[in-house]
Every structure is written in structure tokens, then in C-alpha cells.
Chains A and B, each alone.
Chain A
Amino acid sequence: MAVLALSRNPVRAGIGSDRELAHLSDEALIALVARGDDGALAELYDRFGAVAYGLALRIVRDAALAEDAVQEGFLTVWRNAARFVAERAKARTWILTLVHRRAVDLVRREQFRRTEPLQDVPETGGRTAQDEAWLRLERARVQEALKRLSDQQREAIELAYYGGFTQSELADRLGEPLGTVKSRMFTGLSRLRELLGEPGHEEEQWNAPKFTS
């Protein structure tokens, strides 16, 4: 399981960051941010900026808007770091939650067509081979877990999380009662939570990822 253990490691966008900060946990960095340490903010950005930007781009499908979502997400981290309660959440979760919410707010405001296919964005590189491998593994793991949901659960979760649709919009779009959509999201997310549990607690038939992309 040596490879999976990499998941504990930060993922960097490859921009040089303070060597000492690089050894700190995400949560310790948040504590520094709460004291106004902008180097710690930069380090968090280097760890999560690429994932956050990829996510925002998937939702808003526009480079400028995606940048806005990431910027506002990280500035919210800066402003509210003192409120972060490490016992109750992971820093990674908090940051990606903030960016996701910003992206969803933006896409709803802009009323973009969210069902159009995303244009391929060229990889500009900059990440280390190790980070790259970890990202691919994690991506494959998430996609594999999604495949194991029922089609209806997967559809509801993907449209909500990646599409930015509200539950009412989903109900309209799918032609289902709102209660049905709520249940699908709940049961689907509960199942995903099991499937994506801590590495090592996983069911044995986890499939090895295929590096096709």
C-alpha cells in the first residue's frame, strides 16, 4: 500500500514554497494563516490550487470565472482561518468546500449552460511526477467509486456537485419528485462515503486505476 500512502502527502502546483512550511500539516498552516501569515496561505495555495482550479473549471467552464472562484475561496480562507476548528474538519475539505461553493454561486449567477461539454484545457505541467501520480490515483479511485453507485445516484450527485444544479433544478431536469432527488443524493453520498473511506479500510475489489488519460 506504499502508493496509497502518498495520499497523505500534499499536492503542490509546483511553485517554489517555503521549505519549512512544506513540512507542516494543512491544519497547522491554517493556524498560521489565522495569525496573518501570508506565506502559509501561499503554501496552502501551492498544495490545493491545482485541484481547486480544476474543480472550479469543471463547474463554471470558463477560465476567468474559475479564477474568481479560486481567488474568493482562498481569500475566504485568509479572512476566516481563525474560525476554522481543526477538530471538526480537515483543512483540505474546508478549502475545497469554499471554492466549490463559490464556483456554484458564480455559475448560478451567470446561468451558464452547464451541460455543454468542457473544452479540453491543455496541461501546462508544473507538478512533480509524484504529485501527478497521486492525483491520477485519487482521480481513478473517485471515478471507480462513482461507477459503483446506481446510475440514478451517480447522475444526481454528478449534476449537483459538478453541474452546480440545485435540488429543485435537478428534480425538474430529471422529471422526478423533489423527495426522490433528495433521497438519491443522500443514499448516493452515503454509499460514496463508504467507498471512499480511508485507504486500507476499503473493500478488496478496488480496481487498479488505468492510466489512460
Chain B
Amino acid sequence: MERTEIHELSAAYALDALDEQERLRFEEHLAHCEECQETVAAFHDTAASLAHGVEAQPPPASLRERILVEARSESDKVVPLRSRWAVRVSSGVAAVAAIAAIAFGIWAASLHDQLGERPQAIQLTGANGQLLVGPEGAATLVVDDLSAAPAGKTYEAWVISGEVPEPAGTFTAGDGRTAFALTRSVPDGATVAVTVEPAGGTEAPTGDVRFSASAT
């Protein structure tokens, strides 16, 4: 996607006018684009002002109590931060929580939501990181210290669940942590593999597998 074009999406993102896939893809960009992070922060403020453009309505009195009761019941079993991730993921939980806490700031909320309450986190083979798979197969790759693809090349993800690997999007490596939302869902038992391909990506893999993970 053109650079200006993806920057322009910061408005649609702040207005919640992206569909799920677009939202995840934009968050992947947002994770390592400081300019967009600043724009989105400002646009979120503006959007929040729009909330005041409609008449405030006192909610039913019962709602307050319901929220507090639910919050208290959760706090019995939950340490507020990271718990949902920590339940499933023993090692490497730091990577998962850190991506939310540091890389995205507040914007991580929707990534977390999109992956569902109990995402699977699978360690990558061949790289330092994880594949996160939500209940409906929405998946994100989180990779640490991935070196940039060679000039004229790109990383491309593949979902392999049958005979033929299916392309799941191309991405570039950023400094530190790279997060990439796959453009294709990952069914149970499928393998996700990443290869280096000519810029723009290909329909079938031509390069060696750099790293991979298998969903159970």
C-alpha cells in the first residue's frame, strides 16, 4: 500500500470505519509508524469530542451495579494486566504482553479483542517470536529482532493446511518487534510459514522457509 494511503487510514481507524481485517492490518503498520501513532492519538481525541455531539443519556441505574459486580468477580481470579495471556502461555508471555503494552500503547485493545479472549500463542521455529491465533483463526505473527529483508525482497507469510501453501500477506521487518496480521485465517492443524520473496510477493513460495509455526 502506498505510504500516503496508509497514513490516510488513520482517520478511518480513529472513526472505527475499518472492517476487522483492515483494522488489524492498520494496527500492524501502526506498531512501527510513529507518525501514524501521533496522528491517531490526535484523531482519537477529536473522535471522542464527537461523542459529545450527541445528547448524553443517563444509563439505567442497574448498569452501574452490573459493571461493578462483574469487575469485582473478575478481580478475584485475575491480575488485571496480562492474565488472559498468561493463563495459556507460560514462557514468552512477556513478548505477548509487551507488544500490547509498549508497541501499541492504548491501541492494542482492539488487537487483543480481535484475537479473542483466549488466543493461542505458539512459539516460532527458526525465529524468536510467536504466532497468535484467535478463536476464529485470525492470526498475528509477532517476531523479535527480525532483520530486514534484502533489497528488492519482502517477507511473505503462507498458510499451509492442504497441498498448496496459500499466500497470507507480505510484510517488512521493523526495528525490534515486528507484528503482522495475516490476511488469511489459520485453521486448526495448519502451519504458518514465512519465506523471503521478490518485492510485491508471489502466489506460490519460491524461497526457503525462514521460520514457521503449527497451530494445534
Q: CA separation between A185 and B81, bound complex, in Å? A: 34
Whether the pair A84, B49 counts as a contact (CB closer than 8 A) is no
Which residue in chain B gives the minimum CB-CB distance to A164?
B16
Whether the pair B53, A142 counts as a contact (CB closer than 8 A) is yes
Point out the residues of chain A lying under 8 angstroms from B12, CB to CB.
160, 167, 182, 185-186
Using A41-B71, A75-B67, A92-B48 as known contacts, say yes or no to A165 and B17 having CB atoms under 8 A apart.
yes
Whether the pair B42, A83 counts as a contact (CB closer than 8 A) is no
Using A71-B66, A139-B54 as known contacts, say yes or no to A78 and B105 having CB atoms under 8 A apart.
no
A26-69 near B? 1/0 per residue, CB < 8 Å: 00000001111010011001100111111101100001001100
Whether the pair A79, B74 counts as a contact (CB closer than 8 A) is yes
Point out the residues of chain B lying under 8 angstroms from A167, CB to CB.
12, 17-18, 22
B15, B18, B52, B80: the one contacting A78 at CB < 8 Å is B80
Whether a CB of chain A sits under 8 angstroms from the CB of B151 is no
Whether the pair B63, A182 counts as a contact (CB closer than 8 A) is no
Q: CA separation between A168 and B106, bound complex, in Å? A: 25
Interface class of chain A by DSSP? helix
Q: CA separation between A94 and B135, bound complex, in Å? A: 26
Whether a CB of chain B sits under 8 angstroms from the CB of A14 is yes
Which residue in chain B gives the minimum CB-CB distance to A88?
B105
Point out the residues of chain A lying under 8 angstroms from B67, CB to CB.
41, 45, 70-71, 74-75
Whether the pair A49, B106 counts as a contact (CB closer than 8 A) is no
Whether a CB of chain A sits under 8 angstroms from the CB of B45 is yes
Q: In which size bucket is the chain A interface? A: 35 or more
Whether the pair A190, B11 counts as a contact (CB closer than 8 A) is yes
Whether a CB of chain A sits under 8 angstroms from the CB of B87 is no
Point out the residues of chain B lying under 8 angstroms from A139, CB to CB.
52-55
Question: Which stretch of B108-116, B121-129, B161-169, B191-199 is in the interface?
Answer: B108-116
B5, B22, B51, B108: the one contacting A96 at CB < 8 Å is B51
Point out the residues of chain B lying under 8 angstroms from A170, CB to CB.
17
Point out the residues of chain A lying under 8 angstroms from B157, CB to CB.
none
Whether a CB of chain B sits under 8 angstroms from the CB of A85 is yes
Whether a CB of chain A sits under 8 angstroms from the CB of B19 is yes
Interface class of chain B by DSSP? helix
Q: CA separation between A76 and B112, bound complex, in Å? A: 10
Using A38-B75, A75-B70, A189-B43 as known contacts, say yes or no to A15 and B54 having CB atoms under 8 A apart.
no
The minimal Cβ–Cβ distance linking A58 to chain B, given in whole angstroms, is 4
Whether the pair A89, B105 counts as a contact (CB closer than 8 A) is yes
Which B residues have a C-beta under 8 Å from some C-beta of A? 5, 8-12, 14-19, 22, 37, 41-61, 63-64, 66-68, 70-72, 74-75, 78, 80-81, 84, 100-101, 105-106, 108-110, 112-113
* 21 A/B residue pairs, CB under 8 Å, sorted by A: A15-B64, A52-B51, A53-B56, A78-B80, A79-B80, A80-B112, A83-B109, A88-B41, A89-B106, A92-B48, A93-B47, A97-B47, A104-B16, A127-B56, A141-B52, A162-B53, A165-B17, A167-B18, A182-B8, A193-B42, A193-B43
Which A residues have a C-beta under 8 Å from some C-beta of B? 11, 13-15, 33-36, 38, 41-42, 45-46, 49-55, 57-58, 63, 66-67, 70-71, 74-76, 78-85, 88-90, 92-94, 96-101, 104, 121, 123-127, 135, 138-139, 141-143, 146, 157, 160-162, 164-168, 170, 179, 182-183, 185-186, 188-190, 192-193, 196, 213
Q: Which 8 A-B pairs have the closest CB atoms?
A: A142-B53, A82-B81, A160-B17, A53-B59, A54-B57, A186-B11, A50-B56, A93-B48
